[in-house]
Structure 1
Amino acid sequence: MRVWYCRVCGLDYDASPWGPDGQSPDHSICECCGVEFGYEDYTPDSARQYRAKWLASGAAWFYPKIKPLDWQLEVQLQLVPPRYQ
């Protein structure tokens, strides 16, 4: 199974919210950073801007009840696709 990583925070997903073609976002929300796929992460620059705001505001989980106990922000950020870093 192929893993997909959020363009903003690097959270892993079993399926791409950008569809099989990588061009058809479903506009769902990242469980970690709260980005709306296909809106705030549409371009590398917009993903970087959203990430900067998210980090500046404390990098809080959008759905805090599912945040892993052993979550490490720095490790997860390394999984952001290179084009969006």
Structure 2
Amino acid sequence: MPSEQELPLPPGPEWETVCRVCGYDDGAEPFWEAGWPNEGAICPCCDNEPSMNDVSVMALRELRGYWLGLGAPWRSPGSRPKNWDILEQVKHIPAEWR
């Protein structure tokens, strides 16, 4: 068994509450914990479930383009803020995932 020093570092930051696809951020539910995807979290906006596929900028762009192409529908419409502005929300996507 490899020692802890020999294990690869996990991708991503230690704690990330921003959806890498759409920029949704409630500040509470982490999409990434300790550098690994929180597979129990599902974005109420774009319906993305964090996975190891989310470490590819190209895959994220494809998911984002598909979601936008559908008209940016909300998975949970009741969670959509009254004054929701998609352009403001996507600004929250971390630069490394745009």
* TM-score of the two chains, using structure 2 as the length reference: 0.74
Alignment-derived partner of residue 26 in structure 1:
38
Question: Which deviates more from structure 2 when the two are superposed, residues 39-48 or residues 65-74?
Answer: 39-48
The 1:83/1:34 distance shift into structure 2, 3 A limit, reads same
Structure 1 runs not aligned, ≥5 long:
none
CA contact (8 A) 2:16 2:32 kept: no
C-alpha distance after superposition, 1:4-37 (max 9, x if no partner): 3110111113242211x22x21212101110111
- Greater CA radius of gyration, 1 or 2? 2
Runs of 4+ in 1 over 3 A off after TM superposition: none
Q: Tell me, what secondary structure is at the counterpart of 1:41? A: helix
The 1:73/1:15 distance shift into structure 2, 3 A limit, reads same
Q: How far is 1:43 from its partner?
A: 1.8
Structure 2 runs not aligned, ≥5 long:
1-14
Alignment-derived partner of residue 47 in structure 1:
60
Q: Give me the CA root mean square deviation.
A: 1.8
Sequence identity of aligned pairs in percent? 33
* TM-score of the two chains, using structure 1 as the length reference: 0.84
Alignment-derived partner of residue 96 in structure 2:
83
